[in-house]
Amino acid sequence: MELLRALVFLSMAALVAHGRDTDLSRDSFPKDFVFGTASSAYQVEGNALKYGRGPCIWDTFLKFPGATPDNATANVTVDEYHRYMDDVDNMVRVGFDAYRFSISWSRIFPSGIGRYNKDGVDYYHRLIDYMLANKITPYVVLYHYDLPEVLNNQYNGWLSPRVVPDFAAFADFCFKTYGDRVKNWFTINEPRMMASHGYGDGFFAPGRCSGCRFGGNSATEPYIAGHHLLLAHAAAVKIYRDKYIHAQQGKIGILLDFVWYEPLTYTTEDEFAAHRAREFTLGWFMHPITYGHYPETMQKFVGERLPNFTEEQSRLVQGSADVVGINHYTTYYVKNYENLTHMSYANDWHAQLVYERNGVPIGKQAHSKWLYVVPWGFYKAVIHVKDKYRNPLMIIGENGIDQSGSDTLPHALYDNFRIDYFDQYLHELKRATDDGARVTGYFAWSLLDNFEWRMGFTSKFGIVYVDRKTFTRYPKDSTRWFRKISKDVADK
> Residue 404 CB: number of other CB atoms within 10 A?
13
Contacts of 84 (CB under 8 A, 6+ apart): 126, 127, 130
Report the alpha-carbon distance of residue 446 to residue 429 in Å, rounded: 18
Contacts of 147 (CB under 8 A, 6+ apart): 56, 57, 105, 157, 158, 163, 205, 206
pLDDT of the residue at 260: 99
Q: Which residues are part of the catalytic machinery?
A: 190, 398
* DSSP one-letter code for 351: E
Query: Residue 392 belongs to a domain with what CATH number?
Result: 3.20.20.80
Write down the H helix ranges in 76-182.
80-94, 105-108, 118-133, 149-155, 163-178
pLDDT of the residue at 17: 39
Mean pLDDT of successive 10-residue stretches along the chain, which has 492 residues: 41 42 86 97 96 98 94 96 98 97 98 97 98 98 98 98 98 98 98 98 98 96 98 99 98 98 98 98 98 98 98 98 98 94 95 98 98 98 98 98 96 98 98 98 98 98 97 98 76 42
Burial of 88 (0-12, 13-18, 19+ CB in 10 A): buried
Q: Which domain holds residue 203?
A: 2-490
Contacts of 4 (CB under 8 A, 6+ apart): none
Torsional sign, CA 446, 450, 456, 459: positive
pLDDT of the residue at 14: 40
Q: Backbone phi, then psi, for 135, in 5-degree steps?
A: 60, 35
In this structure, are residues 53 and 104 in contact, taking their beta carbons and an 8 Å threshold?
A: yes
pLDDT of the residue at 486: 81
Count of domains for the chain: 1
Torsional sign, CA 300, 306, 310, 315: negative
In this structure, are residues 381 and 328 in contact, taking their beta carbons and an 8 Å threshold?
A: yes
In this structure, are residues 345 and 200 in contact, taking their beta carbons and an 8 Å threshold?
A: yes
> Residue 92 CB: number of other CB atoms within 10 A?
12
* DSSP one-letter code for 28: G
Query: How many helices (H) does the chain have, and how many strands (E)?
Result: 19, 19
Report the alpha-carbon distance of residue 281 to residue 298 in Å, rounded: 10
In this structure, are residues 138 and 174 in contact, taking their beta carbons and an 8 Å threshold?
A: no
Residues 326-361 as b or e (16 or more Cβ within 10 Å = b): bbbbbbbbbbbeeeeeeebbbbbbbbbbbeeeeeee
Q: What is the pTM assigned to this prediction?
A: 0.95
Residues 162-189 as b or e (16 or more Cβ within 10 Å = b): ebbebbbbbbbbbbebbbebbebbbbbb
pLDDT of the residue at 490: 44
pLDDT of the residue at 21: 55
- Classified as helix, coil or strand, 458 is coil
Cα 355 to chain centroid distance, Å, stands at 23
